[in-house]
Amino acid sequence: MNIITDPRELQKQCLTWRSEGLTIGLVPTMGYFHEGHLALMDRARPLCDKLIVTLFVNPTQFGENEDLNKYPHDLDGDSAKAQSRETDLIFAPESSAMYEEDHATRVDVPELGKHLCGASRSGHFKGVCTVVTKLFMLTQPDVAVFGRKDWQQLAIIKRMVRDLNIPVQIIGHEIIRESDGLALSSRNAYLTEKERAAAPSIRKGLVKMAEMVKNGERNAEVAKAFLHNEYASTLPMGTVDYIELVDPDAIEPIEIITGSTLAAVAVRIGKARLIDNILIEV
Ligand code: AMP
């Protein structure tokens, strides 16, 4: 497995592979791998000849008071894990290699970024779309795999790829969880023992709310109020950033539940801001 840090070298390698008729699969990440990342690699592996995993903590998608400088990293550990999943190439650039000092181009899908994480993390998805577009241009992938844990990100990337005619197939992979239901996240490393013990309540509340909807509740306000109450009693150490019911493709809040609905939450526990979601089919 090759580790490349220079974007030009990466692009040269990928263009060579393409000219040889080889197909390329891409898994973009910020590193500090857990089983969720590895599941994306396993999903992509049989779909391509060459599997590329990118590892880049992209500064432009972090807000000023966010955890950019504290984000956990372990390049050696990540490399070993990626190699164990038969990755062909890791791309781990420095920020200065990805962004010229006078970098001036941004890619944005503002319509899908108005709510959920887009509302509480201003500029976040513009940073994501810009870096993912750059990664697509550098790696020329036939297929790219993203996790449904970041549902809004996945919806935005699908729309961006469609709108800009980018020739890549986007695959969304199911959320990988701990045995107690907590969605795996690199940010779970921020949790103290006590916080970690409480964190599965995020998922438990979502499942209870989904049950309520499946059993007939159609008023989104009622369902959201139920989950707020649920978290107030089961997760007193958590602060709700948002609890929202949205259309899964348009990421627009809904008032009356009539079809497939995404329930999405972000909760702060200690130093971690954790997100989770559940797709409710009615
Ligand atoms: P990150 O390194 O957190 O930016 O995540 C890189 C990719 O892994 C994104 O497409 C995430 O949606 C995905 N991912 C992160 N955690 C999980 C998880 N628990 N299950 C499935 N995919 C995940």
- pLDDT for 102: 98
Share of the chain above pLDDT 70, in %: 100
**What mean pLDDT is predicted for residues 49-63?**
98
Two structure tokens written together for 181: 């239901």
Between the CA of 182 and the centroid of ligand 1 the distance, in Å, is: 13
In which band, very low, low, confident or very high, does the pLDDT at 80 lie, cut at 50, 70 and 90?
A: very high
DSSP for 231-260, written as a single string: HHHH-TTEEEEEEEEE-TTT--B-SB--S-
**Domain definitions of the chain by residue range:** 2-173, 192-280
Q: Which H or E element spans position 269?
A: strand 261-269
Mode of pairing for the β-strands spanning 261-269 and 238-246? antiparallel
Q: 2-173 sits in which CATH class?
A: alpha beta
Asked if residue 98 lies in contact with residue 7, where contact means CB atoms within 8 angstroms, the answer is yes
In which band, very low, low, confident or very high, does the pLDDT at 272 lie, cut at 50, 70 and 90?
A: very high
In which band, very low, low, confident or very high, does the pLDDT at 282 lie, cut at 50, 70 and 90?
A: very high
- pLDDT for 29: 98
- pLDDT for 88: 98
* Average pLDDT score, the chain: 98
Rounded Cα–Cα distance for residues 27 and 41 (Å): 7
Query: Measured from the CB, is residue 127 less than 6 Å from ligand 1?
Result: no
Mode of pairing for the β-strands spanning 169-173 and 50-55? unpaired
Rounded Cα–Cα distance for residues 181 and 202 (Å): 9
Between the CA of 28 and the centroid of ligand 1 the distance, in Å, is: 9
List active site positions.
Answer: 37
Give the CATH number of domain 192-280. Answer: 3.30.1300.10
**What mean pLDDT is predicted for residues 69-76?**
96
Query: Measured from the CB, is residue 172 less than 6 Å from ligand 1?
Result: no
Between the CA of 218 and the centroid of ligand 1 the distance, in Å, is: 30
